[in-house]
Amino acid sequence: MADVVVVGSANVDLVLPVQRIPRPGETVLAGGLTRGPGGKGANQAVAAARSGASTAFVAALGADDGGTLLRDALGEAGVDLSLVSTSDQPTGTAIITVAEDGENSIVVAPSANATLELSEQALRAVREAKIVLAQLEIPFGTVQAAAAASSYFVLNAAPAAELSDELLAHVDLLVVNETEAEAVGGPKLSALLERVPAAVVTLGAEGAVILTRDAAEIRVPGVPVEVVDTTAAGDTFCGVLAATLAAASTTVSTTAPTTGRDLTNAVRRANVAASLSVQTGGAIPSVPHGEVIDARYAEVYL
Ligand code: RIB
């Protein structure tokens, strides 16, 4: 089966370019409307596959145009779709405004994503994967079941939510931005380590920080670029991180590195990939391929 199994959401993204994101109660006019494949889970599965890992995706899609759009995009990226189920609900939808400075705001209608459960076959794939990666746009019970069955579980706790000790007990590596970090551990980043053994906090243009219980904090600086659209930058980071960690662990029983050089290198590669993704618009269309990531990695770090 696949080295990386992503359990998560898939959405049709309706993207509205605006001068700036509207304030509460305000109406603004968009410069157009585009429709494309996205969803945190789908973006992360594509990022893992494009960066070189054998990747399977566990998700629920509707029997509609949106489902076809997503199947085509995921299939083209080389993601194994045998664990994608068809729901009686429509495919999830996200309304995304992207401002001129590249920042965005996103509202998601989960629809089919809210019906996702783990089938026997999906559970088997989760047990056999080197790395299982999930986010929080699907039911908590499904995330919990995947976490409990995984040998190495990476949770991207997005969108921000308060999380139970029961779930966090199964998390090997937490990936969060600063807002999500605060929802899990409070204002002090180091407090995350009271709840999980290792965490990576992404800091946007500033890069990322690695926190582990048995080593000092490591800062990985951002890679300066011209920002067009930050949508899916965090997803690109998570997918590439999981793929790179999977490549560093030889078997399922050799758990992936949560400390040391391998984790730092994986965060650097993920960071480079995220910096490439923000230079292109859209979610899945912005996710870079492994050769491009590695060429840029060599320029930045070697
Ligand atoms: O992280 C970006 C993603 O969030 C978008 O593709 C959108 O679908 C939402 O899930």
Please report the pLDDT score of residue 259 as a whole number.
55
Q: Which atom of ligand 1 is the closest one to the Cα of 158?
A: 1
232 lines ligand 1 (CB under 6 A): yes
Yes or no: say if 20 and 28 are a contact pair by the CB < 8 Å rule.
yes
* Count, residues in the chain: 302
Q: Which atom of ligand 1 is the closest one to the Cα of 94?
A: 8
Confidence band for 250, pLDDT divided at 50, 70 and 90: low
Please report the pLDDT score of residue 186 as a whole number.
96
Average pLDDT over residues 234-254: 85
CATH architecture for residues 4-20+32-301? 3-Layer(aba) Sandwich (3.40)
Work out the number of other CB atoms within 10 angstroms of the CB of residue 165: 7
Q: Is 235 an annotated catalytic residue?
A: yes
283 lines ligand 1 (CB under 6 A): yes
111 lines ligand 1 (CB under 6 A): no
Highest mean pLDDT among 100-104, 182-186, 249-253: 182-186
15-66 residue pLDDT tens: 999 999 999 999 999 999 999 999 999 999 999 999 999 999 999 999 999 9
Q: Pick from 83, 79, 110, 82: which is nearest to 95 by CA? A: 110
231 lines ligand 1 (CB under 6 A): yes
Q: Which atom of ligand 1 is the closest one to the Cα of 38?
A: 6
235 lines ligand 1 (CB under 6 A): yes
What is the spatial distance between Cα 256 and Cα 143, in angstroms, rounded to a whole number? 20
Confidence band for 214, pLDDT divided at 50, 70 and 90: confident
Average pLDDT over residues 256-275: 85
What is the spatial distance between Cα 208 and Cα 236, in angstroms, rounded to a whole number? 14
Phi, psi of 47 (to 5 degrees): -65, -40
In the chain, how many H helices and how many E strands? 9, 13
CA of 173 to the centre of ligand 1 (A): 21
Burial of residue 26 (CB within 10 Å: 0-12, 13-18, 19+) is exposed
Angle between helices 233-248 and 260-277 (to 10 degrees): 150
End-to-end Cα, the chain, rounded Å: 33
CA of 283 to the centre of ligand 1 (A): 7
CA of 107 to the centre of ligand 1 (A): 9
